[in-house]
Amino acid sequence: MKSSVIANANIALVKYWGKRDDKLILPQNSNISMTTDGLFAHTTVEFDKKYDKDIFVLNGQTLDPSSGAYQEYVGQFLKIVREIAKDKTKAKIVSKNNFPTAAGLASSAAGFAALAASVNEALGMGLNEKQISMLARRGSGSATRSIYGGFVEWKKGKKPDGTDSYAEQIADEKFWPDFRLVVCVTSLKEKKIKSRAGMTQTLKTSPMYEGWLKSIDSDLSVVRKGILDRNFTEVGKTAEENCLKMHATMITTKPAIIYWNAQTINLMHSIMDWRDEGLESYFTMDAGPQVKIMCLEKNVKEIVKRVKAMGGVEQLIISKPGEGIKVTKDHLF
């Protein structure tokens, strides 16, 4: 009844922004990500009669089960698990991330992928990877993709019940070994607007949202093919454009959602200048101010040197394509 899983975070190259079903967490558009090596969540779950209530400890802090944050995320997720598993036993969950939480670094992707996979083990639910991907989706959309390593697509699906909305691997973590993400953490603060609320507001109020959706299919096919051809220019360029389009929808909501800080913008300008000088790199940002620089291994050293010289970056993490979920015997309690 006790099980532990390690799941890597993933960073989207074609973003997921907006749901077609809020309850089932079904996306408006298919999306593509890279599972990262080195940014992970480690989760241990135990279901046991000795617990008279659920306990959730995240990064050393016990979350109050009556808090909104707990109920909307973990509480709701456990409810879904209990409905599927038909098991009411209470659980203790201990989870930790080795990178800043809720700061726009896909901590919920790693967290819910690890939680879905460890719950499946602990309760002996017998779900296969596709089913774990769909279960993780119910916790956080981006978690759907973290089940697999390498480059992954979350298919939006068409069915109202969501049974065709899950992730599929495009290429595994060994396929493109010199692809790198240099993650520049420009602020360690938790974001003010979670992606869930941000998406809802965007759908309701941004006049740009329709344009965003119209442009997705083309981005998906270019990035999919670019990955399979290992064509860095195509993937980097399209991922950067896609990120800017997503942020354009955020910026034009009412009230505006601007996740960037001054250093985010400095980095964007610098990366464009470096590119003009022949140092090929592209940027992507999610629901937060962190800048993830896409580049090839041969340019990492120079890029890191230049980022450090600029200052204003709290933490630098260099990541390559990483593995999917891994069951471990290393229990956290």
> Whole-number minimum distance, CB 173 to ligand PMV, in Å?
18
Between 12 and 134, CB nearer to ligand PMV: 12
Are 156 and 147 contacting, i.e. CB atoms less than 8 angstroms apart? no
Are 185 and 290 contacting, i.e. CB atoms less than 8 angstroms apart? yes
Cα of first residue to Cα of last residue in the chain, in angstroms, is 13
> Whole-number minimum distance, CB 33 to ligand PMV, in Å?
6
Instruction: Choose, by CB under 6 A, the member of 36, 142, 186, 299 that binds ligand PMV.
Output: 142
> Whole-number minimum distance, CB 145 to ligand PMV, in Å?
8
Instruction: Choose, by CB under 6 A, the member of 108, 169, 202, 284 that binds ligand PMV.
Output: 108
Which of the ranges 116-124, 134-142, 179-187, 308-316 carries the binding residues for ligand PMV, by CB under 6 A?
134-142
Within 13 Å, how many C-alpha atoms sit on residue 59's CB side? 11
Between 123 and 181, CB nearer to ligand PMV: 181
Q: What span, in angstroms and rounded, lies between the C-alpha atoms of 16 and 142?
A: 8
**Per rule CB under 6 A, is residue 319 in the interface with ligand PMV?**
no
Q: CB-based contacts of 32: which residues, under 8 Å, 6+ apart?
A: 12, 13, 14, 151, 152, 153, 154, 170, 220, 223, 224, 227
Between 92 and 292, CB nearer to ligand PMV: 292
Closest CA to 23 of 91, 66, 79: 79
Structure tokens at 323: 């593995």
Q: Which residues pair with 291 in a beta bridge?
A: 184
Between 91 and 246, CB nearer to ligand PMV: 246
**Per rule CB under 6 A, is residue 141 in the interface with ligand PMV?**
yes
> Whole-number minimum distance, CB 47 to ligand PMV, in Å?
25
Structure tokens at 234: 């195509």
Instruction: Choose, by CB under 6 A, the member of 287, 293, 295, 313 that binds ligand PMV.
Output: 287
Instruction: Choose, by CB under 6 A, the member of 235, 286, 291, 321 that binds ligand PMV.
Output: 286
Amino acid residing at 208: M
> Whole-number minimum distance, CB 237 to ligand PMV, in Å?
18
Q: What span, in angstroms and rounded, lies between the C-alpha atoms of 123 and 115?
A: 12
> Whole-number minimum distance, CB 36 to ligand PMV, in Å?
12
**Per rule CB under 6 A, is residue 31 in the interface with ligand PMV?**
yes
Task: Mark residues 192-221: x for contact with ligand PMV by CB under 6 A, - for none.
Answer: ---xx-------------------------
Q: What span, in angstroms and rounded, lies between the C-alpha atoms of 117 and 253?
A: 35
For 246, phi and psi rounded to 5 degrees? -60, -45
Binding site for ligand PMV (CB under 6 A): 12, 15-17, 31, 108, 140-142, 195-196, 286-287
